[in-house]
Amino acid sequence: MDLRVPEQEKAFREEVRTFLEESLTPEIREAGKMVTSVFAPVKEAMAWQKILNQKGWAAPHWPKEYGGTGWSVTQRAIFAEELVRAETPPLVPMGLHMCGPCLIGCGTEEQQNEYLPKILNGEHFWCQGYSEPGSGSDLASLKTFAEKDGDDYIINGTKIWTTYAHYANKMFALVRTNKDGKPQQGITFLLLDMDLPGITIEPIVGLDEVTEQCQVFFDNVRVPQANRVGAENDGWTVAKYLLTFERGGQEYAPGLNVQLEKIRLMAEKQQTVQGPMSQDPLWQHKFASVSADVLALEFTEMRIKSALSAGKDPGALSSMTKILGTELLQKVTELRIDTLGAQAAIWQPQALVPGAEQPVIGPEYALTAMPHYLNSRACSIYGGSNEVQRGIIAKAVLGL
Amino acid sequence: MNFQLSEEQQMLADSAKRFVRDNHDVEKHRQNKKLMPLDEATWAQFAELGWLAVPFAEEHGGLGMGPLETMVLLQELGEGLIMAPYIATVVLGGGFLRHASEAQQAETIPSLLEGGLQLAFAAEEYERVFTLENTAMKGDVQGGDVVLNGTKACVLNGDHADQLIVLARTAGQPGDKDGLSLFLVDANAEGIERIPHRTVDGRQGAEIRFSNVTVAEAARIGELDQGYDIARAVLLEGLLALSAECAGSLAVLLRDTVEYSKTRKQFGLPIGKFQALQFRMADMFIAMEQTRSLLMAATMKLAEGHDDAAKAVHAMKAQLGRAGRKIGQEAIQIHGGMGMTDELNVGHFVKRLTAVDGLFGNADVHLMEMARSA
Ligand SMILES: Cc1cc2nc3c(=O)[nH]c(=O)nc-3n(C[C@H](O)[C@H](O)[C@H](O)COP(=O)(O)OP(=O)(O)OC[C@H]3O[C@@H](n4cnc5c(N)ncnc54)[C@H](O)[C@@H]3O)c2cc1C
């Protein structure tokens, strides 16, 4: 066991830093600072993806032959940390982190050739069509039906909570192709165009008054069978493969550390009658308590990465980091509004739009606190709710 | 001991319940959020129903009621998420007017009762953790006049108020209870600039900037440098009113969540059948009942003038903040994706509770205040 950083890793970190310093435009930086979600403003995120792609760094986690970087686990972690530290807007994950790896693992060669380059360069913007109004945690109960007709499937039904469906031109979807037998066994994984006749998209307004999610309706939508990934009725296997990428390999600690540092600076500005809040023992206790949890998570994540680089499967451990990461993110956003008091309640979403000329009311550092607090309530719900993750640990790890 | 409502209090509760049932739902709330200034018709109805008169003395045309009635009324209104500036104008504003001079009262109370005058208490400041004695805004005494300079933040109803009650420091340093003074100032007086903004719970407030605003001696409420005690007494009533309103919101969140968990099915069962969720809803219930108990403790102690009334109010506001967090967060989580939408009740109540926790000192501030009060 050893925490010292080898020289070549230091050099790599320097290389990444220099690149970021040189290639981040003011617009992209500003958008990164305004982020109140796991999703960034789309225009700037896509512009940033283009820049990264030109450098060959848009998908470091992909195998090199498909456009990845061939970096070690450690290098990827350093890269991810530096992105977070520079507050770059996070890239939209549906193509790069979900659909792409899934096609690499389960797609045909034609599918890989057709889609992977366009995922990398942003030409294809993907959304994930899994959840339905009646099927959330129990995804296998989904009902959207795809009926075979010649070389096509004809789809009827509806998907909900589809993030960024209103920006997407592609969807990867789970549909039912067989109503008999075990629910998991009649599901098929399909790729489809969002502009097909019969698709309607209805935006959903969130707590923060922003639209990230949509409901998507399918009325006799025709999709070629060639767009199927994996075998018919075997979509659950494909989806589970994808899920290991959606949940696994996520890192929360670097972002949490950046947030904590911001909160500490805010607490220096807030005056109590005894001096700055950062000197108040009650605040210090709360801050230290969250910081200790984040430090523990940082090392939990490192242990998982170390196991990964030794070729081990993290298995149910990804459930643990999902629970810890999301709940700590929620705690951190909570500590932030608590540090700000009434100032956090000033509501000015229009000032969050990148490039807005709107003057900010109140301290500028308070602007994103409340929207972020509200938005972060969702992270313990999506990607398999934390109740479901706890169930996985109970079953798979503890054998209950 | 008697925890029953009197006949009069029950009537007040019933009329508020009816009002909420007939006039308010999420759709109405969403429409109201878009209104700037707020729904005038609702305010006129409040006047007609006599609610604006609740805490005023009978000789001023009021109903001569006290904290108990305010609690009863606001708990009901809280269930409807009604946005009218009742606390700013009637509870806080009216509270200060009770300490005002006869001339000030004669000039304001009649039109307030008719619904023609709105008030706002300008107390919070940017980058200052709220306690009354932490006030920094300057009032320079120049002969009989005082000249106000500085900025007040997040002033509830500050955009719409006709008159402001301004808390300023005429002597001493932040931290001193001595040296605070209160002024009743025309909101459109020369030197005042108001920057209206929404608040996260869909209400309206304002940043209010004072540059060389001269106020005459007649505009002062109470003695020079001795405003603390008045401000504290009124603030305690304001905290009570806010908490009463939010206790109503807690009830709705719990009710809606339990109801949803009985109808939403996953894995072939209503999710309310999962013990993991049952225990949490049981804890939500406990947190709500504890809040109600502290609300009653604070209300009765304040109404009866007990020595430890202030302590009970701090305990209540702290509990409200903590229960609001817990109940609000659980309500969203148990509603799943639906809980994150603007469409359901849940989010709107959660935002109200979150905003109120931050207002006039959050849970941490009030726990400290509680620890300090004798
Ligand atoms: C912001 C956001 C973005 C999303 N993006 C997408 C997307 O892009 N594509 C997509 O397909 N979906 C997306 N989703 C949907 C998401 O995956 C679902 O919300 C999630 O699976 C939960 O389903 P549900 O909302 O129907 O809640 P439900 O399944 O109805 O759950 C309600 C509550 O019951 C609990 N519960 C359910 N079953 C159990 C159990 N057995 N034991 C204990 N507790 C239980 C849940 O944990 C939750 O607290 C998104 C959701 C959100 C909030």
- B35 pLDDT more than 80: no
Hey, which residues does B186 pair with through a beta bridge? B163
Cα distance between residue A71 and residue A82, in whole Å: 15
Inside any domain, residue A146 = yes
Tokens of residue A289, six digits: 């308590």
Please, what is the angle between helix B345-358 and helix B228-263, to 10°?
160
Give all domains of chain B, ordered by start, each with its CATH number: 7-118 (1.10.540.10), 120-225 (2.40.110.10), 229-373 (1.20.140.10)
- A255 pLDDT more than 80: yes
Read off the pLDDT of residues A256-308 as tens digits, 9 standing for 90 and up.
999 999 999 999 999 999 999 999 999 999 999 999 999 999 999 888 887 77
* Same structural domain, A264 and A189: no
**CA of residue B351 to ligand 1 center, whole Å:** 21
Q: Say which of A342, A345, A374 has its CB closest to residue B130.
A: A342
| CATH number (domain holding residue A212) | 2.40.110.10
Q: Say which of B199, B266, B368 has its CB closest to residue A138.
A: B266
Inside any domain, residue A239 = no
Phi, psi at residue A200, to the nearest 5°? -120, 145
Q: Which atom of ligand 1 is nearest to the CA of A131?
A: 11
Inside any domain, residue A299 = yes
CB contacts, 8 Å: B267 with chain A: 137-138, 141
* Same structural domain, A210 and A274: no
Torsion of CA B354, B336, B250, B43, to 10 degrees: 70
Cα distance between residue A162 and residue A171, in whole Å: 9
- A247 pLDDT more than 60: no
Question: Would you state the pLDDT for residue A5?
Answer: 74
**CA of residue A293 to ligand 1 center, whole Å:** 26
Question: Would you state the pLDDT for residue A39?
Answer: 85
Question: Would you state the pLDDT for residue A355?
Answer: 80
Q: What single DSSP character describes residue B52?
A: G
Which chain A residue lies closest to B362 (C-alpha atoms)? A341
Read off the pLDDT of residues A118-174 as tens digits, 9 standing for 90 and up.
999 999 999 999 999 999 999 999 999 999 999 999 999 999 999 999 999 999 999
Q: Determine which one of A44, A246, A251, A301 is catalytic.
A: A246
Name the domain boundary from A45, A69, A91.
A91
Name the domain boundary from A190, A211, A234.
A234
Inside any domain, residue A99 = no
Hey, which residues does A189 pair with through a beta bridge? A174, A229
Hey, which residues does B205 pair with through a beta bridge? B156, B197
How many domains in chain A?
A: 3
* Same structural domain, A165 and A220: yes
* Same structural domain, A228 and A252: no
Question: Would you state the pLDDT for residue A246?
Answer: 59
| CATH number (domain holding residue A24) | 1.10.540.10
**CA of residue B180 to ligand 1 center, whole Å:** 52
Question: Would you state the pLDDT for residue B3?
Answer: 81
Question: Would you state the pLDDT for residue B1?
Answer: 67
Computed on alpha carbons and rounded to an integer, the radius of gyration of chain A in Å comes to 22
**CA of residue A138 to ligand 1 center, whole Å:** 8
Q: Which domain holds residue A310?
A: 248-396
Contact B290, B324 (CB under 8 A): no
Contact B257, B329 (CB under 8 A): no
Tell me what the mean pLDDT of segment B211-235 comes to.
Answer: 97
* Same structural domain, A156 and A258: no
Tell me what the mean pLDDT of segment B324-340 comes to.
Answer: 98
Q: Which has the higher per-residue pLDDT, B205 or B38?
A: B205
Q: Is A205 in contact with B134 (Cβ distance < 8 A)?
A: no
Q: Is B368 in contact with A282 (Cβ distance < 8 A)?
A: yes
* Same structural domain, A385 and A258: yes
3-state secondary structure B282-307: HHHHHHHHHHHHHHHHHHHHHHHCCC
Q: Which has the higher per-residue pLDDT, B34 or B300?
A: B300
Q: What single DSSP character describes residue B5?
A: P
* Same structural domain, A274 and A208: no
Ligand 1: residue of B266, B333, B334 to mutate (most ligand atoms within 8 A of CB) is B266
C-alpha dist (Å) from residue B5 to A134, B12, B18: 44, 10, 17
Return the sign of the alpha-carbon dihedral for residues A127, A129, A134, A140: negative
Question: Would you state the pLDDT for residue B374?
Answer: 64
Inside any domain, residue A2 = no
**CA of residue A384 to ligand 1 center, whole Å:** 6
Q: Is A346 in contact with B205 (Cβ distance < 8 A)?
A: yes
Query: What's the burial of A2, exposed, middle or buried (CB within 10 Å: 0-12/13-18/19+)?
Result: exposed
What confidence tier does A4 reach under pLDDT thresholds 50, 70, 90? Answer: confident
Name the domain boundary from A209, A234, A259.
A234
Q: Model pTM?
A: 0.96
- Our CA-based measurement puts residue B102 at a distance from the nearest CA of chain A, in whole angstroms, of 33
Count of CB atoms situated within 10 Å of the CB of B361: 26
Cα distance between residue B165 and residue B157, in whole Å: 12
What confidence tier does B38 reach under pLDDT thresholds 50, 70, 90? Answer: low
Count of CB atoms situated within 10 Å of the CB of A47: 17
Name the nearest CA neighbour of B345 among A207, A352, A323, A303.
A207
Ligand 1: residue of B271, B329, B346 to mutate (most ligand atoms within 8 A of CB) is B271
* Same structural domain, A160 and A66: no
Q: Which atom of ligand 1 is nearest to the CA of A135?
A: 26
- Ligand 1 atom 7: the closest Cα is on which residue? A162
Count of CB atoms situated within 10 Å of the CB of B28: 16
Inside any domain, residue A115 = no
Which chain B residue lies closest to A277 (C-alpha atoms)? B129
* Same structural domain, A229 and A270: no
What confidence tier does B75 reach under pLDDT thresholds 50, 70, 90? Answer: very high
Read off the pLDDT of residues A316-355 as tens digits, 9 standing for 90 and up.
788 899 999 999 999 999 999 999 999 999 999 989 887 8
Known active-site residue A81: no
Inside any domain, residue A111 = no
Tokens of residue A61, six digits: 């986690």
Computed on alpha carbons and rounded to an integer, the radius of gyration of chain B in Å comes to 21
* Same structural domain, A16 and A67: yes
Q: Is A341 in contact with B361 (Cβ distance < 8 A)?
A: yes
Please, what is the angle between helix A73-85 and helix A7-23, to 10°?
40
Which chain B residue lies closest to A203 (C-alpha atoms)? B341
What confidence tier does A248 reach under pLDDT thresholds 50, 70, 90? Answer: low
Q: Is B350 in contact with A346 (Cβ distance < 8 A)?
A: no
- Our CA-based measurement puts residue A375 at a distance from the nearest CA of chain B, in whole angstroms, of 8
What confidence tier does B283 reach under pLDDT thresholds 50, 70, 90? Answer: very high
- B309 pLDDT more than 90: yes
Question: Would you state the pLDDT for residue A312?
Answer: 73
Which chain B residue lies closest to A135 (C-alpha atoms)? B266
Ligand 1: residue of A131, A187, A194 to mutate (most ligand atoms within 8 A of CB) is A131
Phi, psi at residue B172, to the nearest 5°? 75, -165
* Same structural domain, A262 and A386: yes
Tell me what the mean pLDDT of segment B44-59 comes to.
Answer: 95
